[in-house]
């Protein structure tokens, strides 16, 4: 597992973070995100747009927010939830997003594990499994908040994961 690039959002925030021209030399990819949204609320949806495009997704989620647990399905690009402006000041949520076989020209799976942060009883955490049915290899990945902007100091790191030298992942 090797860090490819890290982005830290500067002053003024940003609507999205894009990793472009991703090398095709890895087996899988993983993005680790620490983020907070400007949205006026507790949660903002964090989307992942492969090659900058929405669509081709079928996902199942399991989430909880301190008072209830929900499960369901969507066809959006949702990968996690990010705490908004009404959560405890200066707290950031985090998520890890795992993308398998990103150079494949057939369907790919994306699995995420994310949590918000709030010194109160209400903020979402979620695990999400996505089937991306697009047949284009991923050469760029865009992280985008659906209702707000990333605040300053939000970070995202893209990692590349290589299969074992025998052509398969080696577990010891």
Binding-site ranges for other proteins (CB under 8 A): 4-5, 7, 9-10, 12-23, 38, 45, 47, 54, 70, 72, 74, 76-78, 142, 144, 146-149, 158
Among residues 115, 165, 142, the alpha carbon closest in space to that of 18 is found at 142
Least distance from C-beta 147 to other proteins, angstroms? Answer: 6
Judged by beta carbon, residue 136 or residue 164, the one nearer other proteins is 136
Q: Alpha-carbon distance 109 to 30, whole Å?
A: 12
Strand partners, 30: 98, 159
Judged by beta carbon, residue 70 or residue 105, the one nearer other proteins is 70
Least distance from C-beta 144 to other proteins, angstroms? Answer: 7
Q: Alpha-carbon distance 136 to 51, whole Å?
A: 9
Judged by beta carbon, residue 76 or residue 122, the one nearer other proteins is 76
Judged by beta carbon, residue 1 or residue 171, the one nearer other proteins is 1
Residue 59 · residue 76 · CB < 8 Å: yes
28-35/155-161 β-pairing: antiparallel
């Amino acid at each position: 597992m090797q860090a490819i690039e890290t982005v830290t959002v500067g002053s003024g925030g940003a609507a999205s973070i894009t990793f472009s021209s991703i090398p095709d030399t890895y087996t899988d990819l993983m993005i680790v995100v620490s983020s907070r949204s400007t949205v006026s609320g507790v949660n903002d949806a964090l989307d992942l747009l492969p090659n900058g495009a929405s669509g081709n997704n079928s996902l199942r989620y399991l989430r909880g927010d301190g008072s209830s647990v929900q499960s369901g399905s969507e066809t959006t690009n949702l990968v996690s939830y990010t705490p908004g402006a009404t959560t405890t000041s200066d707290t950031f949520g985090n998520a890890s997003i795992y993308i398998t076989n990103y150079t494949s020209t057939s369907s790919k799976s994306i699995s995420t594990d994310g949590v918000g942060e709030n010194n109160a009883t209400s903020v979402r955490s979620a695990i999400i499994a996505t089937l991306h049915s697009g047949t284009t290899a991923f050469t760029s990945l865009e992280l985008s908040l659906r209702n707000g902007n990333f605040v300053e100091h939000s970070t995202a790191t893209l990692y590349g994961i290589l299969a074992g030298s025998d052509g398969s992942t080696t577990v010891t």
